[in-house]
Structure 1
Amino acid sequence: MTDSASVPPQQRARRSAAVDAAVGAGRALGLTVTDARVLHDLFSVVVHLAPAPVVARVPTVLPRSTDPAVQSSRQRTELDVAQWLADRGTPVLPPSPLVPREPVRRDGFSMTFWQYVEEDRDREPDYAANAESTAGLHAAMRDYPGPLSFLSAAEPEFVEDSLALLDESPGLLTPADVDRARREWRVLAPLVRSRAAFEEAFPGVGLQPVHGDSPPANIFAGVDGDRYADFELVTYGPVEWDLAALGPELEAAYDRGARRHGIRPLNPDVLRFVNAVGMLRAVATLTLAPQLPVLEDYLRPAVDHWRTLPFAGGLPG
């Protein structure tokens, strides 16, 4: 958790409001909450509603294009996918069994509730091992029967809205950067928005349910072992989406896991495509910096790297 003394006033106020909403919602659901504690605060405020063994995750940094009904629907899908995986023995952070498995809206926030699992804070993440493990998650997710939209994790509405705002965003981008980003999106957007267009561009590449938000970076180190977490962007698409922008070492680790689990290895052409889309999502995320100023520092290396890459991942413009 970030030291509150170093947190900007806007973020402190947002955190306080999110904690109050989570505590109020938890008590309204019948939980005893006397010692709420913030576990994490970046795009979401994650609150342990102690002494109840329940964690509330409260998204707080959101694009202006966020639709409350769409947000609630995606949170409901996340809860369903996590519970489905847990029921089949996949190690995940599961929804809390102590409250209904539904998002709750309170005080302008939409939140979800999860089982509290103690974190092993002394263990450093092994991203290569996590990437190899991701193939096992993909093998487990292949049979998920619920409806999922094609590449919704790319958040095309957010990207388009953000690209329209980039002229107003201070900081890292030059006018040439903004022009390139918009031209790249014109090439990439049709393949993001249409499964048929994607399959025409990449014939024979299998699609399936995928995590949606870089699972090698979203594996929770519990004291009882690693667990997959944060299925907020769960989607239907190529497995390459979950390895976007992670580099050759982690791609090779994933392929080792794929061989072990009997699923296909990563396709280099699709990787170039998802890497290009992922870079544009990073550029688009700069428009959230007024809400979360530290984003500029986080995104600076990504923007610098994007400038060195082939236009639109090498796809014909």
Structure 2
Amino acid sequence: MTVLYGEGRSAMRVSELPCAVAAARAAAASLGLAADEAVVLHDSNKLTLRLLPCDVVARVAPVADQVARLEVELAQRLTEMGSPVAALAPRVTPDVHERDGFVVTLWTYCEPAVPPEVPPAAYADALARLHAGMRQLDVPAPHFTVRVDRAQRLLADRDRTPALAEADRRLLDGTLGRLRRAIGERDTAEQLLHGEPHPGNLLATESGPLFVDLETCCRGPVEFDLAHAPDDVAEHCADIDRDLLHDCRLLVLAMITTWRWDRHDRLPNGRRLAGEWLGRLREASAEVR
């Protein structure tokens, strides 16, 4: 199972795009960077732009929906340690810029590698090096179970999830509760994690794989992070609890399935994916009985 979608990864509203682009260009201009052109690289909960001719990457989000200062702090400290994360833009002071209701952060543009896929062994190595760097940081971060709580609150809110059948609602809630207890009862070391190191948050660059989107960081067992990666990545990981990884994979699957039933979710083909994932969870539930 490869998990590609995290919590609330719906695209920025179309009406917000021109203002978000203008905010990014204005932030760059205030630092003396020429940003005559903005090329959209990715549109999710954050808008990612390549600004030209200064050739830096701008990440833009509404003020209310971001934890940019933590992300900037983590990126700066992890880069200094040589961890495989995208670096902040050179020649400017690392900071968070607020413009017209948006926050803008500026990053180094990295040429994509050819081919663009990261091989499983390189993926596993990059994640292990990221975790090694994160173990050296003492920063406040929520426990991964906070996300389980949010998912269960969403399931309890029938106004937010009106299309979800009651049997499937019970299945999701029961799966989340059961796996949260099972994972919590294990005597497992926990540390700072990326939170969502799925393939969409790993760039294949000419200088090697680099993780992005550090705003999802949380605390928990490394198996929770590994649960977001393609299955064959785990084959290259030593010293992991395979049973715990299995439980974490099912837990993450139940969470991302829940997000797809939120009536505000705008992920393309989200409901089709939710139906497929519910089928997997039904099979897993039947095996437990």
Q: Same fold (TM over 0.5)?
A: yes
Q: What CA distance in whole angstroms lies between the structure 2 residues aligned with 1:28 and 1:156? A: 41
Report how far residue 299 of structure 1 moved.
Answer: 4.2
Contact between 1:282 and 1:303, CA under 8 Å: does it hold in 2? no
Q: What CA distance in whole angstroms lies between the structure 1 residues aligned with 2:181 and 2:30? A: 45
The answer to whether structure 1 residue 184 and structure 2 residue 175 are counterparts is yes
Structure (1/2) with the larger helix percentage: 1
Tell me the secondary structure at the aligned position of residue 240 of structure 1.
helix
Contact between 2:118 and 2:209, CA under 8 Å: does it hold in 1? no
Unmatched tracts of structure 2, length 5 or more = 1-10
Counterpart among 246, 264, 278 of residue 303 in structure 1: 278
Contact between 1:92 and 1:228, CA under 8 Å: does it hold in 2? yes
Report how far residue 47 of structure 1 moved.
Answer: 0.6
The normalised TM-score by structure 1 is: 0.74
Counterpart among 167, 177, 201 of residue 218 in structure 1: 201
Contact between 2:120 and 2:232, CA under 8 Å: does it hold in 1? no
Q: What CA distance in whole angstroms lies between the structure 1 residues aligned with 2:25 and 2:220? A: 36
Contact between 1:167 and 1:175, CA under 8 Å: does it hold in 2? no
Q: What CA distance in whole angstroms lies between the structure 1 residues aligned with 2:124 and 2:139? A: 25
The normalised TM-score by structure 2 is: 0.80
Tell me the secondary structure at the aligned position of residue 49 of structure 1.
strand
- How has the CA–CA distance of structure 1 residues 297 and 98 changed in structure 2, closer, same or farther, with 3 Å as cutoff? farther
- How has the CA–CA distance of structure 1 residues 125 and 29 changed in structure 2, closer, same or farther, with 3 Å as cutoff? same
Contact between 1:54 and 1:96, CA under 8 Å: does it hold in 2? yes
Tell me the secondary structure at the aligned position of residue 214 of structure 2.
coil
Tell me the secondary structure at the aligned position of residue 48 of structure 1.
strand
Aligned to 2:156: 164
Q: What CA distance in whole angstroms lies between the structure 1 residues aligned with 2:275 and 2:87? A: 34
Unmatched tracts of structure 1, length 5 or more = 1-8, 61-66, 193-197, 256-264
Q: What CA distance in whole angstroms lies between the structure 2 residues aligned with 1:293 and 1:244? A: 21
Q: What CA distance in whole angstroms lies between the structure 2 residues aligned with 1:123 and 1:18? A: 28
Contact between 1:48 and 1:56, CA under 8 Å: does it hold in 2? yes
Contact between 1:18 and 1:45, CA under 8 Å: does it hold in 2? yes
Report how far residue 57 of structure 1 moved.
Answer: 1.4
The answer to whether structure 1 residue 134 and structure 2 residue 108 are counterparts is no
Q: What CA distance in whole angstroms lies between the structure 2 residues aligned with 1:299 and 1:214? A: 20
- The letter for the 2-side match of 1:240 is E
Contact between 2:20 and 2:102, CA under 8 Å: does it hold in 1? yes
CA RMSD of aligned residues (A): 3.2
- How has the CA–CA distance of structure 1 residues 300 and 239 changed in structure 2, closer, same or farther, with 3 Å as cutoff? same
Report how far residue 234 of structure 1 moved.
Answer: 1.4
The answer to whether structure 1 residue 275 and structure 2 residue 243 are counterparts is no
Q: What CA distance in whole angstroms lies between the structure 2 residues aligned with 1:46 and 1:127? A: 26
Q: Cα deviations across residues 100-137 of structure 1 (Å, max 9, x unaligned)?
A: 43333333333322122222364333245313432232
Q: What CA distance in whole angstroms lies between the structure 1 residues aligned with 2:273 and 2:101? A: 27
Q: What CA distance in whole angstroms lies between the structure 2 residues aligned with 1:128 and 1:59? A: 33
Aligned length: 278
- How has the CA–CA distance of structure 1 residues 55 and 191 changed in structure 2, closer, same or farther, with 3 Å as cutoff? farther
Identical-pair percentage = 27
